[in-house]
Amino acid sequence: MQTAEIRRRFLHHFEQRGHTVVPSASLVSPDPSLLFTVAGMVPFIPYLTGREPAPFPRATSVQKCVRTLDIEEVGKTTRHGTFFQMNGNFSFGDYFKEGAVQHAWDLVTGRVEDGGLGFDPDRIWVTVYLDDDEAADAWHRIAGLPLERIQRLGKKDNYWHTGADGPGGPCSEIYYDRGPEFGPDGGPLVDTAGDRFLEIWNLVFMQYELTDVRSKEDFRVLGELPKKNIDTGMGLERVAYLLQGVDNMYEIDEVAPVLRRAADLAGVTYGKDHDADVRLRVVADHVRSGLMLIGDGVTPGNEGRGYILRRLLRRAVRSMRLLGVDAATLPELLPVSRDAMGASYPEVVADFDRISAVAYAEEEAFRRTLTSGTALFDTAVAQAKAAGTPSLSGEQAFSLHDTYGFPIDVTLEMAAEQGVTVDEAGFRALMQQQRDRARADARAKRTGSVDVLAYRRLLAEHGPTDWRAYDTLRTDSRVLGVVSDLGEDDAPAAPAGPGEVTRVVLDRTPFYAESGGQVADAGTLSWDGGRAEVLDVQRPVKGLVVHQVRVLEGELAEGAELTAEVDREWRLSACQAHSGTHVVHAALRQVLGPQALQSGSYNRPGYLRLDFAWQGALTLQQRHDIEDVANAAVRADHRVRAEYMTLPEAQAIGALALFGETYGEQVRVVEIGGPWSRELCGGTHVTGSAQIGTLALTGESSVGSGARRVEAVVGLEGFRYLARERDLVRQLGELLKAPTDGLADRVGGILARLRDAEREIAELRAQQNRAAAGQLAADARDVGGVAVVTAAPAGLSGGDLRTLALDVRARLGERPGVVLLASEAAGKVALVAALTPAAQERGLSANDVLRAAAAPVGGRGGGKADVAQGGGTDPGGIPAALQAGEQAVQTAAGR
């Protein structure tokens, strides 16, 4: 049974039993503490924990997931993989244990011709929590399982919670007996390795409120939840390889084609060589994960999700190189993965042009950096071996990662090939520091240093904020809470006085909270005897709007009645920028094609930037065309309207969704000119496109492999930008005594004459240096049998100084000779030491001479035994530097 068919049967089974089919959420998790969606229940956490009311009593989904904690183990075993799919059914206060058991049993053992999966009932075992008699009885009574095939395990195996205080409960796992060839009989209790009795489905019975949660097994039960929930997870890949009669996930229909194609390219046979098998599995897994991550809008980068994607793609490329394939391989492998996954995810087929462009660009970039990165690696290895400590430091490994994008496993593999170890712990400590800084920055941006529990308490007590940003710029509001950044607990803060910055929760607000790339509104809060300016507006928890304010007059306290008012000009300019972003996006797609899809945006009053999928810089003509199309849409004064509908309805009319965003059942579609621009968006907008005003593109640049960024100004800022450009052109015309339409030719002529003058100056300088070289060589002094030249020509750059030193050295002929030159330019010191071969035979080294000379000028440097170069910061030390270098020669020559 094909994987796509198993997926279809699962969803149909539960849809027929009253479950709402929920599309898979993006792999990009909306939870700031998670990089990716790591489990099928992640999108439903707010409903399972009771933070938000569930929009349906029952739901089912097949969720795309990525886990990368064990990325180094991928390929080494057949158990580990990064991308996987989790089938799930969920009940929010509806059915409980008996219903979950009944639904699962009907599907697992149902006849294939009736839509079931057809597993043999006699080969099904289950586990339940030690004292969960209710679950054990349900399996015995409903499924007819004999008691010996219902085994009881402890908290480690059969209890679930989030890892924090909140809901939790026992769980029940369904196992399939693969047969005696995989191990001894006795069920999961005996088969701790999981080779014979394979877990295929976990049913979580969320029924208790837990507190004092200290570990997986250490917590206290407060009591039963008022509403009991069901959360289940069936591993689609595991079920697939059981029903397809293969041994593991790497051999199923969605993975094996890539593995086989990789083996063909490498000229190897899977199953014949352990090392080759490991690398083939890495390739098969990582290519699929890369396909799905790029499909959900992730682009390669050096941080966060982008780094994980980059690491996956580069591990795949590196594995193919280790298999002996030096040519680009993703163009051969990615289409195979697309075809394998297309039945389940047709969007990867429709969007393959963009996906492949990103992936191929990353492979090409890695192939280029492998050369330079390998050179750095080889240098570090040579230095380590020369020092007698064949180990690379954590700093060196981190530099390879940070500068060249080398995944640590690439560094480890290369080091092992050279017989060198790596301080992996040091590397990971540096990586963790980098992640901690990034996460701290993200948390500070969203919530300041306030514990999010304070906001959740306010949400639970008062309900969601009555948010009026689409309807009005002014509301009469009441302060529900003033929350201090500085408090160590989550108690409400004391009233805030003049000059203090604090965070305020209102019962209703007209302020737009930062989201979807649009910055928050500015404005004021005013009350009897007081006023505060609004600095920022965020949603630290869904449903709650929090205002960061600075009190200007009076005291702001909980319970205060006030007027919240948005700055009208700020909002208008923000609307112009956000609607302008949609217009530019539509213009990009019209000029460049549908593959130029937005991958991120940012807009503030008067300014917008938009990131999109594209290879290579835009031509000047393309930029002109995009600007023309955008301004034509502005002049046309297209109607701008917003409408709510279901996600499938929005998709059916061609509305574009921003990659990485998570959408609910109801979505807001913003149209500009009907189908001309139709996007899912929660931002504020103008009512007609003419209100956007002047739109001028101001920049275009690269933001990573396969991703570009355009920037623009709109409205009054657009007019001011063009006015500044006009004034600049007029000033240049006056200075150069040229009409504006002839400025380019006039500037081009000036630049040509400047280049000619620079060439003449360079030739004169070279002649002067040649003349100086002859005189310097003639003035060489004998120091212990070595001809020594020291001098301090003024105003030479490091390159010119090196050229002069080499010229002087050549004039010293075959005798032992040392040239040491120093020059001051722009307050900096350049140093060069050059030795003849005869001087090196006497045991002298340019490195030693340079090190001695560098100290008096506060510098450093290095090179080879014949030539070394460096610099310093203290020009006053040049005479001492030359003397120190000469002394080093005398000491070495006298040995």
Can you say which residues are annotated as belonging to the binding site?
A: 578, 582, 681, 685
- Angle (nearest 5°) at CA 430 between 428 and 434: 110
Number of H helices, E strands in the chain: 25, 32
Radius of gyration of the chain (CA): 34
Binding residues for Zn(2+): 578, 582, 681, 685
Strands of 155-296, DSSP E? 159-161, 166-177, 197-211, 220-235
CB 309 within 8 A of CB 298: yes
Cβ atoms of residues 771 and 763 within 8 Å: no
CB distance 821 to 809 below 8 Å: no
The tokens for 670 are 């913003």
Task: Give the Cα-Cα-Cα angle 540, 543, 549 (nearest 5 degrees).
Answer: 50
Between the alpha carbon of residue 675 and those of residues 569, 582, 656, 695, the distances in Å are 29, 12, 11, 21
Phi/psi at 768 (nearest 5 deg)? Answer: -60, -40
CA dihedral (309, 312, 318, 322) in degrees, to 10, reads -170
Q: What is the SS3 assignment for 614?
A: coil
Q: 165 in helix, strand or coil?
A: coil
Instruction: State which H helix or E strand residue 87 sits in.
Output: strand 83-92
| DSSP annotation of 161 | E
DSSP 639: B
Q: By 3-state DSSP, what share of the chain in percent is helix, strand and coil, each rounded to 5? A: 45, 25, 30
- Alpha carbons within 13 angstroms on the beta-carbon side of residue 26 total 21
Structure tokens, 475: 């509301």
Phi and psi at residue 504, in whole multiples of 5°? Answer: -130, 135
d(CA 262, CA 139): 45
Q: In 421-465, which ranges are continuous DSSP H helix?
A: 424-447, 452-462
DSSP code, position 488: S
* Residue 857 identity: V
- Quick one: which of 561, 556, 449, 546 has its CA closest to 505? 546
Supply angle C-alpha 443, 448, 450, rounded to 5: 95
Q: Would you list the DSSP string of 725-767? A: HHHHHHHHHHHHT--GGGHHHHHHHHHHHHHHHHHHHHHHHHH
Beta strands in 544-646 (DSSP E): 546-553, 561-566, 598-604, 607-613, 640-646
Helix/strand/coil (H/E/C) assignment for every residue in 282-339? HHHHHHHHHHHHHHCCCCCCCCHHHHHHHHHHHHHHHHHHHCCCCCCCHHHHHHHHHH
What DSSP character marks residue 495?
P
Q: What is the DSSP letter of 836?
A: -
Buried b (16+ CB within 10 A) or exposed e, 454-477: bbbbbbeeeeebebbbeeebebeb
Which backbone phi and psi does 418 adopt, to 5 degrees?
A: -95, 0
End-to-end CA distance of the chain: 83
Cα gap 407→366, rounded to integer Å: 11
797 — phi, psi (to 5°)? Answer: -75, 170
Residue 413 CA, chain-centre distance (Å), reads 24
